[in-house]
Chain A
């Protein structure tokens, strides 16, 4: 059974550019959540996708958007990058839109640096 995989692991972008981050959920999981973790802070919920639809959103502007594909993999897109978007972006998968008995399975994240 594979875990959650995220790509790329590191990325450097220029302010104003757009970025796409990718996540493959754990086998058997149909729900993906995305989190942003700034340095020294806990992860902050961005949104969740369940059955290819957005199923809950945190306090992030519309330039943060996402997709979930029929194979349950997911993308996080961020437009018009700002310096404060520099963070570790984490993807977490689960089954059925709620926490499984083993909680959420997180990937190792994508470290985004905006310069």
Chain B
């Protein structure tokens, strides 16, 4: 079962920052937070992951609270192509043997 809670939908104006929240209150010490997104009719695409420190890459930033019970994915300048379902997943990189638990994710709609 998914260990995360996300809002079912959000929207954002093009060019503005999109901030997608995720609650993972039962996360354990060796579990990472991963974010994937799925554009309609495609496979999920990896975005970013982190353990306890904030992370940034060319796609997004990930802010993890100090207690690690929640996180926020930030798309700094959303474009229409960022419209997708965004999944927040917690995963132990070792013992889960490749098992990612996807919930229903957040449908982000970016409007012009």
Contacts and interface: CB of A to CB of B under 8 A. Distances in A.
Interface residues of A, number: 29
A104 B105 CA distance: 17
Given A41-B104, A42-B103, A103-B34, A90 B97 contact: no
Contact of A33 (B98, B103, B104): B98
Contacts of A108: 41-43
Contacts of A45: 98-101
A44 B42 CA distance: 15
Most buried by A among B34, B98, B99: B98
Which of A31, A35, A41, A99: most chain B Cβ within 10 A? A99
Contacts, number: 73
B17 interface: no
Contacts of A104: 44, 46, 98, 100
Given A42-B102, A55-B97, A106 B91 contact: no
* Secondary structure of the B contact surface, majority rule: loop
B99 A48 contact: yes
Interface in B54-112: 87, 91, 93-94, 96-105
A99 B91 contact: yes
Contact of A106 (B44, B99, B101): B44
A111 to B, nearest CB: 8
A31 B43 CA distance: 17
Contact of A56 (B36, B42, B99): B99
Nearest to A91: B43
Interface in A89-110: 90, 92, 94, 97-99, 102-109
Interface of A: 4, 31, 33, 35, 40-45, 48, 50, 55-56, 58, 90, 92, 94, 97-99, 102-109
9 contacts: A33-B100, A55-B98, A90-B44, A94-B98, A98-B93, A102-B46, A105-B46, A107-B43, A108-B42
